[in-house]
Amino acid sequence: MKHKLTLNLLITRLSKFHKLWRLLQKLFWGLRLLLISWLVFTTITLVSASLKPVDAFFVLGGSIRREIHVAQLAKQSPLIPILISSGSQDPCIWLIFQREVAGFQQVSLENCATSTFDNFYYGTPILRSWGIHKVKLITSGTHFFRANLMARIILGSHGIWVESAVVKEKGVPANQEYWYKTILDITRSLIWAILSQFIYPQCSHIVKLVDVDMPFWEQKGFRCENQGGLNR
């Protein structure tokens, strides 16, 4: 009798395990189908976006030369919005655009990012809120490989096509590249490409260039990179 009860208990447990296994299989295939559908939809969106003109400039901070470059682009395309992620101090960027006689209204400064990953972590929701389809990523040659891969993974996962512009530097920019940093950032980007479909980080330090308080900065004091030629 005892053996019979043990056998029945074993059969019951095996039956429950079998049902659970079949449920997990269905869940796995459902997620797989969902992932494939998302990839197909995103690919179609990217192909369509690649055929459109650039509708935003995205500058990664690290050298004032990048901001000089985008200010020169702004003169040629005054209606295209510009997002500068943790670049030079606000008054330095203001002085660059003033010197280049470029428009201020379309420029936003995101000052939350502290790393390249953060540039995309905070920048992607902003670009999405602007309805951007094709962005020109602006960075330096030494920083290009890692930044370009991260941009294509994270921005691409949101249907934003990436076109890159490499700015020539004088000296060594702030970004230092190491192989382990690249591997870490690419891994984080792949994970964030999925999570960012549901999570929308918000930067609390976004400033419109037109709203930069120059009298305040003049009183407080500031210093720009020497290669910007702005220090007086």
Q: Which residue has the higher pLDDT, 175 or 51?
A: 51
Dist CA 93 CA 110 (whole Å): 12
Question: Is it the case that residue 14 has pLDDT exceeding 60?
Answer: yes
Question: Is it the case that residue 194 has pLDDT exceeding 60?
Answer: yes
Q: Which amino acid is at 47?
A: V
Q: Give percent of the chain with pLDDT exceeding 90.
A: 64
pTM higher than 0.75:
yes
The dotted CATH code for 56-226 is: 3.40.50.620
Question: Is it the case that residue 173 has pLDDT exceeding 60?
Answer: no
Residue 25 exposure: Cα atoms within 13 Å on the Cβ side: 6
Dist CA 72 CA 70 (whole Å): 5
Question: Of the ranges 28-37, 51-60, 137-146, 166-175, which is most confident?
Answer: 51-60
Q: What is the mean pLDDT of the chain?
A: 88
Helix (H) or strand (E) holding 214, with range, is: helix 214-220
Q: 56, 129 in Cβ contact below 8 A?
A: no
Question: Is it the case that residue 2 has pLDDT exceeding 50?
Answer: no
Name the pLDDT band for 3 (thresholds 50, 70, 90). Answer: low
The packing angle between helices 116-129 and 179-195, to 10°, is: 30
Residue 170 exposure: Cα atoms within 13 Å on the Cβ side: 8
Question: Is it the case that residue 29 has pLDDT exceeding 90?
Answer: no
The packing angle between helices 116-129 and 141-154, to 10°, is: 50
Name the pLDDT band for 27 (thresholds 50, 70, 90). Answer: confident
Question: Is it the case that residue 110 has pLDDT exceeding 70?
Answer: yes
